[in-house]
Structure 1
Amino acid sequence: MHTDTERCVRAVRSKDARFDGWFFTAVLTTGIYCRPSCPVVPPKPANMVFHPSAAACQQAGFRACKRCRPDTSPGSPEWNHRADLVARAMRLIADGVVDREGVPGLAARLGYSTRQIERQLLAELGAGPLALARAQRAQTARLLIETTRLPMAEIAFAAGFASVRTFNDTVREVFALSPSDLRTRAPRDASHATPGALSLRLPFRAPLNPDNLFGHLAATAVPGVEEWRDGAYRRTLRLPYGHGIVALTPRPDHIACRLTLGDPRDLTVAISRCRRLLDLDADPVAVDGQLRADPVLAPLVDKAPGRRVPRTVDEAEFAVRAVLGQQVSTAAARTHAARLVTAHGTPLDDPEGGLTHLFPSPEALAAVDPETLALPRTRRTTFTTLVTRLAGGELHLGADSDWPGTRVRLLALPGFGPWTADVVAMRALGDPDAFLPTDLGIRRAARELGLPSTPAALTARAAGWRPWRAYAVQYLWATDSHPINFLPAQATKEP
């Protein structure tokens, strides 16, 4: 979009927050870059230059605006609804792969040469993988500086910098302030947290309807791993350097996020996975606009716009839970998962609530004796095949997964039909066009709305909803009174 100068100028002049993260405005006269919704008086069009990423602005020598903080914009929705090389690379960079494995590690995961990846990222984003990762490190460093009392040297290495000098130079270059000045300027109540506990805001593009998003997560929560407590969805996290606990609370203009981390180096990954879990980088205006074009869906969208697709923080975990949930109720699926967690999960302490374990890893589940599983024999075979393939690396589920190819590999597993493969594609892989025409709730909603109820006919009818059929699923599910469609406070009157 950054190449459409006229459209970008209109967005900046109207301070349109819908475009935050789509592009960045660099101001030639001041040397700073802003998000489109920056509250300052817009500069003259002749003084504006538009870039596709914060990293590109930084590489061009511009500093981040201190008013609008463009480094905290929602991520571009492009990386969530595309499955090409650039989108997969961006999802991996957000997950911290470049910091942990370098550009060669990124290339190895994607199956391309480093030169190909650098060329494509530079062409589309104006910056290569190292510059993109550097911009992300700068944002992580700022969060740690402003929300913790960690010494600056610890923050430098936690944010992924190779040295304190590089950390200091990068912070000064990006924010035009020293690390100490950033901490001094932070609100007084923002630096009370103890090391490892962070409170921050996760931005999103409005509108956001929290009902089905948090309702689904709370209604399907596995005891010990997830819970709804005091208006927040809480869960444990398995992270590259340790474990964590997150509490996510819906607010009118942001998601309040409280993270407790065993190792602060996991902050970037934890934030990325929480944003992915809640689908916070989606563009609801584009999604709802497309779905409103269908006269059957239009009233559903108008009634409660901004529905997101509830996703996951761990793709392998979700695939296992999808198998446990085959042809059983939500309560039964939670019971099966809770038994696995108690028997094979990693214990942890949660001083603030009732979380007790990390969900078992594929390696731990692959060692489980199938005869101890309270499942039908055919589902045991499905379960053991899945976890064995995941543990052995024969099946990979992650942010970099190729959606069509992974779906084909899932369907080749015994016991994996279209429903299981598509629900994994929708909620674990993040495919925005995944569709569930065989789902009982979808077929029931289709009949009530006068849509075709047979899978083939409904799939044909849904062609006009592409590429947003996963969001259409959320609107169709919302016609039911199932608890997944309501915030727990609404459904159970809990505080």
Structure 2
Amino acid sequence: MNLDVDSCYAAVRSRDRRFDGVFYTGVRTTGIYCRPSCPARTPALRNVTFHRSAAAAQAAGFRACKRCLPDATPGSPEWDVAATVAGRAMRLISDGVVDREGVEGLAVRLGYTSRHLSRLLTAELGAGPLALARTQRAQTARVLVETTELGFADIAFAAGFASVRQFNDTIRAVYDASPTELRGRRSGPRTPGAVDLRLAVRTPYAGRALLRFLADRAVAGVEVASVRDDGSGSYARTLDLPHGFGTVRLELDDLVEPGVAFVRASFALQDLRDTSAALARVRGLLDADCDPVPVGEHLATDPGLAPLVARRPGLRVPGHPAGHELAVRAVLGQQVSVAGARTVAGRLVAEHGRPVDTDIPGLTHLFPSAATVATLDPESLPMPRARGRALATLGAALADGEVVLDRGVDRDETRRRLMTLPGIGAWTADYIAMRALGHPDVFLPTDVGVRHALTRMGSDDTDPAPWSPWRSYALMHLWTSLEDEN
């Protein structure tokens, strides 16, 4: 993204919240950086610089504003959906790959040398992988400082810092405050391993539609959902994370406050080093980094879609925290109803999932690993033998790394590899790309629900090409329109 000074300054002067997270403003006279909607007095143009990322602003010597809290702003939607190296790298950095595997590990995953990757990221985002990871560590540390009773030494290592000194120096540099000052005065007890926080999302946010989608597909043992009479409610699930397991409970409702609002989330983690990974994966589940305003404006230009967009402003594409789980469930859902797929998945979890103890009633298992799925006997599965063989083959491809389903992969290449597997057709590969890989531009023309929705619109011969690059969101509008009364 090229940062045009005049355009950026116009956004800052108007305090346009839609640009929060798209760029950051550094103020030379105060030494702080802000998001565009900061309520503070607008600085003179000669005193500001604009940066592509919070990490770039920090690398330039600016500290986070204490008033607008730019580190709490969602990441740029361009990072979240981009198929570029920078977009893929940002998703992996958010998941904590640099902390676990180093810059070399990140580079290997992306297919570059570490030196070339650093050049690419610096050119694209204004900061290299270490600076970007440093910003991620600082954000994670702040969450732990403010929401747990952990000692600062424990927080330092849980957030990925190499030493307590590095932790202290980074917190002071980024927030112009010591860890003690950040912790401040708090009320109420904190539970060890529990992290309660608010996840920033751009608004409007159709939380009730997301909740209904997840509730309809909730697999017993892995997920539970509770929907109130007004359509709001909660969704919870188990998480299989790099250092252990965890759970998350989300409170979902429609959010219409202009700009940025918050989804309440409660995490319980076996190992707090998984905070970054858990946060990144749940943000993907929520499609939290989508910018709904341009998406809605684009889709509303279609006369058939316009009423659906107006009915559910801010509709999101539900992601998934575990690519292998989503892929297995996609195969289970081939040519059966949503309820039927949920039932078969529940039996699979009960028989082959890993039992875990949680504090949330109904959450009893982790979904079976890819290696476990690979060992299943197709003859013993409650499905046609061909589909059972496809399931075992898919599990083997995921277990040995032939197919990788995280948000750092090349989506087109991953789709090609999926399509080479027996029993994986276009519908399955594209559904996996949409939900597991966060692809914003997927359409399923053969889907029965899509065809039904188009027929109800009186446009079953509609060409979805004009809906690009947001066809995944058009697809969700079509699916959810089936819930409306005739």
TM range (shorter): over 0.9
Q: C-alpha separation between the residues in 1 aligned to 2:20 and 2:121?
A: 20
Q: C-alpha separation between the residues in 1 aligned to 2:178 and 2:25?
A: 23
How many residue pairs end up in the alignment?
474
Q: Does structure 2 retain, via aligned residues, the 8 Å contact 1:2–1:23? A: no
Indicate yes or no: 2:203 matched with 1:201: no
TM-score computed with the length of structure 2 as normaliser: 0.95
Aligned to 1:261: 269
- 1:115-194 matches, cutoff 5 A: 115-184=115-184, 188-189=186-187, 192-194=189-191
- Range with bigger deviation, 248-257 or 88-97: 248-257
- CA change 1:482–1:396 in 2 (3 A) is farther
- Range with bigger deviation, 426-435 or 3-12: 3-12
Q: In structure 1, give the amino acid aligned to 2:240.
A: R
Indicate yes or no: 2:343 matched with 1:335: yes
Q: Describe the superposition over 1:442-470 as per-residue Cα deviations: whole angstroms up to 9, x where unpaired.
A: 101111212234xxxx4xx1111101000
Aligned to 1:100: 100
Indicate yes or no: 2:213 matched with 1:213: no
Q: C-alpha separation between the residues in 2 aligned to 1:11 and 1:192?
A: 41
Q: Does structure 1 retain, via aligned residues, the 8 Å contact 2:441–2:468? A: yes
Q: C-alpha separation between the residues in 2 aligned to 1:143 and 1:70?
A: 14
Q: C-alpha separation between the residues in 2 aligned to 1:135 and 1:438?
A: 43
Q: CA deviation at 1:403?
A: 1.1
Q: In structure 2, give the amino acid aligned to 1:128.
A: G
Instruction: Look up the SS of the partner of 2:202 in the other structure.
Output: coil
Q: C-alpha separation between the residues in 2 aligned to 1:121 and 1:83?
A: 14
Work out the percentage of aligned pairs sharing the same amino acid: 56
- Range with bigger deviation, 275-284 or 292-301: 292-301
- 1:311-330 matches, cutoff 5 A: 311-330=319-338
Segments of structure 1 that go 5 or more residues without pairing to the other structure are 484-495
Q: C-alpha separation between the residues in 2 aligned to 1:121 and 1:70?
A: 21
Q: Describe the superposition over 1:76-96 as per-residue Cα deviations: whole angstroms up to 9, x where unpaired.
A: 101222112111111111111
The match for 2:419 among 411, 416, 419 is: 411
Q: C-alpha separation between the residues in 1 aligned to 2:454 and 2:282?
A: 32
Q: C-alpha separation between the residues in 1 aligned to 2:2 and 2:112?
A: 27
Q: C-alpha separation between the residues in 2 aligned to 1:480 and 1:316?
A: 28
Q: Describe the superposition over 1:374-404 as per-residue Cα deviations: whole angstroms up to 9, x where unpaired.
A: 1111111111111111112111111112111
Aligned to 1:392: 400
Aligned to 2:230: none
Indicate yes or no: 2:296 matched with 1:304: no
Aligned to 1:489: none
Instruction: Look up the SS of the partner of 2:225 in the other structure.
Output: strand
Q: In structure 2, give the amino acid aligned to 1:108.
A: V
- 1:41-56 matches, cutoff 5 A: 41-56=41-56
Q: In structure 1, give the amino acid aligned to 2:282.
A: C
Instruction: Look up the SS of the partner of 2:109 in the other structure.
Output: helix
TM-score computed with the length of structure 1 as normaliser: 0.94
Q: In structure 2, give the amino acid aligned to 1:399.
A: R
Q: Does structure 2 retain, via aligned residues, the 8 Å contact 1:32–1:62? A: yes
The match for 2:372 among 358, 364, 368 is: 364
Q: C-alpha separation between the residues in 2 aligned to 1:192 and 1:125?
A: 39
Instruction: Look up the SS of the partner of 1:317 in the other structure.
Output: helix
Q: Does structure 1 retain, via aligned residues, the 8 Å contact 2:208–2:252? A: no
Segments of structure 2 that go 5 or more residues without pairing to the other structure are 228-232, 256-260
Q: C-alpha separation between the residues in 1 aligned to 2:94 and 2:125?
A: 14
Instruction: Look up the SS of the partner of 1:204 in the other structure.
Output: strand
* Root mean square deviation, CA, Å: 1.4
Q: CA deviation at 1:368?
A: 2.0
Deviating above 6 A after TM superposition, structure 1's stretches of 4 or more consecutive aligned residues are: none
Instruction: Look up the SS of the partner of 1:386 in the other structure.
Output: helix
Q: C-alpha separation between the residues in 2 aligned to 1:130 and 1:284?
A: 30
Q: C-alpha separation between the residues in 1 aligned to 2:401 and 2:124?
A: 31
Aligned to 1:433: 441
Instruction: Look up the SS of the partner of 1:254 in the other structure.
Output: strand
The match for 1:288 among 276, 296, 309 is: 296
Aligned to 1:70: 70
